[in-house]
């Protein structure tokens, strides 16, 4: 149960959704784009989220669909993690999202909600960052496509009233060699201690991380060290960790010392696997 009342809207077009949002703002109300709704329910219950006007995006045509168009795999922001897990057209993404939360939650959580949410792990963004994805953003001026790497800086940078409508991944990225692994402190579900997603493209390793800093990231500086073939995988991992964008997390999920140890080993395993050595997962 949420401890506040709200008005519920289910627009039938993206323009209508933006219009409802703007209308609420004009009335000094707090609008909320609602996708899977799990975060509003979880955080709203404990007073960490609030809405006067809930705008449910799931009625928008195409919002939950996954299909191919020209050279792209198109994933609607309203596609649930379960549907992406089962779709398998982008195996790295399917495998990464299959480790988020539990099956019941994944049936509700959408990819748009995961990458735009307040809960900072946002693990679904990792494969999208390393695959140079495009994001279709809907706003007052219509739909605009932007490279995710340009607009994702700790969080996705949206203007007030904009929402993510769709995500595009070029076909050439879908079936590259990949590595994805999530380590938790304990149990089979839960937030990550460290999650890594990596691919190898044109002989270069690309890697993105969640659980390491208080936001997910891909770092070009770290990738320089990861691709220094003159060094052993452990040494490359050690050097890359020297370029982390923020101090490593030290929290209930794990101490910074333990995280560093796990991170270094996972990076070395990823390098070995992508360079053709089999490692035990
Ligand atoms: C039980 C549970 C376990 C979890 N475990 C993990 C985990 O292991 N790893 C992990 O990464 N995350 C985890 N999460 C976090 C979860 O992925 C996020 O809370 C996510 O936001 C939920 O998606 P949703 O579709 O339900 O979003 P919603 O609740 O609908 O929305 C979440 C936020 O995103 C905004 N939003 C939603 N859709 C859009 C859009 N299309 N454009 C712009 N903004 C939008 C909303 O306005 C809201 O602020 C967990 C959550 C739960 C409830």
Average pLDDT over residues 158-166: 98
Residues 6+ apart with CB under 8 A from 177: 199, 200, 274
pTM: 0.96
- Least-confidence region, from 112-116, 120-124, 189-193, 257-261: 189-193
DSSP 18-45: HHHHHHHHHTT--EEEESS-HHHHHHHH
Q: How far is the CA of 10 from the centre of ligand 1 (A)?
A: 19
User: Confidence band (pLDDT; 50, 70, 90) for 186?
Assistant: confident
The interaxial angle of helices 233-241 and 256-274, nearest 10 deg, is 130
Burial 47-65 (b: 16+ CB within 10 A, else e): eebebebbbbbebbeebbe
Segments of 148-241 assigned E as strands: 152-153, 155-156, 163-170, 178-183, 194-201, 204-213, 215-218
Give the mean pLDDT of 138-158. Answer: 97
Alpha carbon nearest to ligand 1 atom 28, residue? 37
Ligand 1 site-directed mutation target among 54, 56, 98, 119, most atoms within 8 Å of CB: 119
Task: Label residue 107 exposed, middle or buried (CB < 10 Å: 0-12, 13-18, 19+).
Answer: middle
CB of residue 33 inside a 6 A radius of ligand 1: yes
Residues facing residue 98 across a β-bridge: none
State mean pLDDT over 161-190: 94
Sign of CA dihedral 3, 105, 265, 228: negative
Q: From the CA of 112, how far away is ligand 1's center (Å)?
A: 7
**98 alpha carbon to ligand 1 midpoint, in Å?**
15
Mean per-residue pLDDT, 196-202: 97
**CATH number assigned to the domain covering 178-274:** 3.30.390.50
For the chain, how long is the longest CA-to-CA vector?
61
**Domain chopping of the chain, boundaries:** 7-56, 66-173, 178-274
Place of tokens 């910074």: 256
Q: What is the DSSP letter of 171?
A: G
State whether the beta carbon of 64 lies less than 6 angstroms from ligand 1.
no
Q: Enter the tokens of residue 183.
A: 């380590």
Residue 280's pLDDT band, with cuts at 50, 70 and 90, is: very low
| pLDDT given at position 279 | 54
Per-residue pLDDT for 188 more than 50?
yes
The predicted-structure confidence for 58-98, as pLDDT tens digits, reads as follows: 999 999 999 999 999 999 999 999 999 999 999 999 999 99
Residue 141's Cβ-side half-sphere holds a number of Cα atoms within 13 Å equal to 6
pLDDT value of residue 189: 80
The residue-averaged pLDDT of 198-203 equals 96
Whether 117 shows a pLDDT value over 70: the answer reads: yes
The pLDDT-based confidence of 9 (bands split at 50, 70, 90) is very high
Spatial separation of the C-alpha atoms in residues 19 and 82, rounded to whole Å: 30
User: In the chain, which residue ranges form alpha helices assigned H by DSSP?
Assistant: 14-26, 38-45, 81-87, 91-97, 103-106, 111-116, 125-130, 148-151, 220-226, 233-241, 256-274
Q: Which of 11, 17, 39 to mutate to test the pocket of ligand 1 (most atoms within 8 A of CB)?
A: 39
Q: Give the residue-averaged pLDDT of 212-240.
A: 97
pLDDT at residue 278, as a whole number = 53
Residue 281 has what pLDDT? 45
142-147: strand order across its sheet:
66-69, 72-76, 163-170, 134-139, 142-147
Residue 126 tokens, joined: 């990792």
Least confident range from 105-109, 159-163, 237-241, 273-277: namely: 273-277
CATH topology of domain 66-173: 3.30.465
Contact in structure between 248 and 260 (CB atoms under 8 Å) = yes
**How many CB atoms within 10 Å of residue 197?**
30
How high is the mean pLDDT of the chain? 95
Nearest CA to ligand 1 atom 15: 119
Q: Looking at the DSSP assignment, which residues form a beta bridge with residue 55?
A: 9, 33
Of all residues in the chain, the percent with pLDDT exceeding 90 is 93
């Amino acid at each position: 149960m949420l401890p506040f009342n709200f008005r519920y809207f289910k627009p039938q077009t993206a323009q209508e959704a933006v219009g409802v949002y703007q209308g609420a703002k004009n009335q000094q109300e707090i609008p909320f784009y609602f996708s899977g709704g799990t975060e509003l329910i979880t955080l709203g219950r404990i007073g960490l989220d609030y809405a006067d006007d809930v705008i449910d995006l799931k009625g928008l045509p195409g919002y939950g669909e996954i299909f191919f168009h020209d050279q792209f795999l198109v994933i609607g922001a309203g596609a649930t993690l379960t549907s992406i897990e089962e779709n398998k057209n982008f195996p790295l993404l399917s495998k990464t999202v299959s480790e988020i939360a539990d099956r019941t939650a994944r049936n509700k959580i959408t990819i748009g909600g995961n990458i735009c949410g307040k809960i900072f792990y946002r693990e679904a963004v990792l494969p999208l960052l390393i695959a140079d994805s495009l994001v279709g953003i809907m706003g007052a001026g219509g739909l605009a496509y932007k490279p995710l790497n340009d607009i994702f800086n700790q969080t996705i940078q949206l203007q007030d009233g904009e929402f993510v409508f769709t995500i595009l991944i070029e076909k050439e990225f879908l079936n590259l060699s990949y590595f994805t692994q999530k380590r938790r402190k304990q149990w089979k579900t839960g937030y990550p201690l460290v999650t890594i997603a990596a691919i190898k493209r044109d002989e270069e390793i690309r890697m993105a991380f969640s659980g390491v800093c208080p936001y997910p990231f891909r770092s070009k500086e770290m990738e320089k060290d990861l691709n220094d073939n003159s060094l052993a995988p452990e040494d490359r991992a050690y050097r890359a960790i020297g370029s982390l964008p923020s101090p490593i997390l030290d929290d209930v999920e794990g101490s910074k010392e333990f995280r560093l140890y796990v991170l270094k080993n996972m990076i070395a395993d990823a390098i070995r696997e992508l360079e053709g050595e089999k490692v035990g997962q």
